[in-house]
Structure 1
Amino acid sequence: MKGILLVNLGSPDSPTPKDVKTYLGEFLMDERVIDLPVLARTLLVKGIILNTRPKASAKAYQKIWWEEGSPLIVLSERLQSKIQKRTNNPVALAMRYGSMTIKKGLQELVDKGCTHIKTIPLYPQFAMATTETIDVKVDELVTEYFPEVTITRTPAFYHREDYINVLSKSISETLEDLDYEHILFSYHGVPERHIRKSDITNGNCKMNGKCCFKKGSEQHEFCYRHQCEITTVNVAKKLGLKNGTYSTTFQSRLGFDPWLKPYTDRTIERMGKNGTKKMAIVTPAFVSDCLETLEEIAMEGEEIFHEVGGKEFTVIPCLNDRDDFVQVLVNIANEWAETPEATTV
Structure 2
Amino acid sequence: MKRGILLMNLGSPDSTSVKDVRRYLNEFLMDERVIDMSYLSRLLLVKGIIVPFRAPKSAKAYSSIWTPEGSPLIVLTRELQAALQSRIAEPVAIAMRYGNPSPRQGFDELLQKAPGLEEVIVVPLYPQYAMSSYETAVEYAKECHKKGGYKFRLEIIPPFYDEPGYLNALAESITPYLKEEYDHILFSYHGIPERHIHKDDVTGNHCLKSADCCSVDSPAHQHCYRHQCLVTTARVTAALDIPKSKYSHSFQSRLGRDEWLKPYTAQRLQEMPGEGIKNLLVACPAFVSDCLETLEEIAEEGKEIFLHAGGEKFTMIPCLNSHPAWVSTLEKWSHNGI
TM-score bracket for this pair, using the shorter chain length: over 0.9
- Contact 1:183–1:245 (8 Å) recurs in 2: yes
Partner of 2:229: 228
* Cα 1:259/1:152, change in 2 over 3 Å: same
Residue 271 (structure 1) aligns with: 272
2-side partners of 1:262 and 1:26: how far apart? Answer: 28
Match of 1:211 in 2: 213
- Residue 188 (1) aligns with residue 196 (2): no
Q: 1:2-41 CA distances to partner (integer Å, 9 max, x unpaired)?
A: 1111100000111111111010010000001111111111
Are the structure 2 counterparts of residues 207 and 67 from structure 1 closer, same or farther at C-alpha, using a change threshold of 3 Å?
Answer: farther
Q: CA RMSD in A?
A: 1.3
What amino acid is aligned across from residue 165 of structure 2 in structure 1? D
Aligned AA (2:20): D
Cα pair 1:13 1:19 within 8 Å, conserved: yes
Counterpart of 1:136 in structure 2 is: 139
Cα contact 1:126–1:132 (8 A) shared by 2? yes
SS of equivalent residue, structure 1 residue 126: coil
| SS state at 2:173 partner | helix
Of residues 106, 115, 118 in structure 1, which corresponds to 2:118? 115
The question of whether the paired residues in 1 share the 8 Å contact of 2:168 and 2:325 is answered with no
Task: Give yes or no for the alignment of 1:198 onto 2:200.
Answer: yes
CA positional deviation for 1:106? 1.5
- Supply the distance in 2 between the matched residues of 1:55 and 1:31 (Cα, whole angstroms): 23
**Matching residue's letter, 1:196:** H
* Paired residues of 1:275 and 1:309 also in contact (CA < 8 A): no
CA distance in 1: counterparts of 2:190 and 2:250, whole angstroms: 9
Distance of 2:271 and 2:23 partners within structure 1 = 36
In the alignment, structure 1 residue 309 sits paired with structure 2 residue 289: no
Aligned length: 335
Q: Which residue, out of 146, 156, 160, partners 1:157?
A: 160
Q: Which residue of 1 aligns with 2:86?
A: 85
Distance 1:110 1:223 in 2: 35
Q: Deviations over 1:62-89 (max 9, x none)?
A: 1000111111100000000111111121
Which consecutive aligned stretches of 4+ in structure 1 deviate over 6 angstroms post-superposition?
Answer: none
Return the alpha-carbon distance in structure 2 between the equivalents of residues 238 and 126 of structure 1.
22
1:207 positional shift: 4.6
3-state secondary structure, aligned to 1:249: strand
TM-score normalised by the chain length of structure 1 = 0.94
> What's 1:343 paired with?
none
Aligned residue type for 1:136 = E
Greater shift in the superposed pair: 58-67 or 134-143: 134-143
For residues 232-269 of structure 1, give each alpha carbon's deviation from its aligned partner in whole angstroms, at most 9, with x where no partner exists: 00011111111221001000000011100000000111
Counterpart CA distance in 1 for 2:319 and 2:313 is: 19
Contact 2:157–2:337 (Cα < 8 Å) also in 1: no
1:50 deviation in Å? 1.5
Distance 1:123 1:301 in 2: 22
Give the conservation status (yes or no) of the 8 Å contact 2:252–2:265. yes
Separation in 2, partners of 1:194, 1:207: 14
Alpha-carbon deviations, 1:173-208, whole Å to 9, x = none?
A: 1231x2111110000000011111112222222353
Distance 1:208 1:16, change over 3 A: farther
SS of the residue 2:281 aligns to: strand
Give the match for residue 281 of structure 1. Answer: 282
Match of 1:174 among 174, 177, 200: 177
- Which residue identity lines up with residue 191 of structure 1 in the other structure? P
1:109 maps to amino acid: L
Could you tell me how far apart the structure 2 residues matched to 1:184 and 1:15 are? 30
Rounded Cα–Cα distance in structure 2 between residues aligned with 1:64 and 1:222:
32
Task: State the Cα distance separating 1:322 from its structure 2 match.
Answer: 0.9
List runs of 5+ in structure 1 lacking aligned partners: 338-345
> Could you report, residue by residue, the CA deviation over 1:281-321 in whole angstroms, capped at 9, with x for unpaired residues?
00000111111101100011111111111101111111101
SS at match of 1:33: coil
Whole-Å separation in 2 of the counterparts to 1:49 and 1:264: 22
State the AA in 2 paired with 1:90. P
Q: Equivalent residue of 1:244, what SS? A: helix
CA contact (8 A) 1:17 1:55 kept: yes
Q: SS at the partner of 2:86?
A: helix
| Superposition pairs of residues 54-133 of structure 1, within 5 angstroms | 54-111=55-112, 112-113=114-115, 114-133=117-136
Residue pair 2:12, 2:74 contacting (<8 A) in 1 also: yes
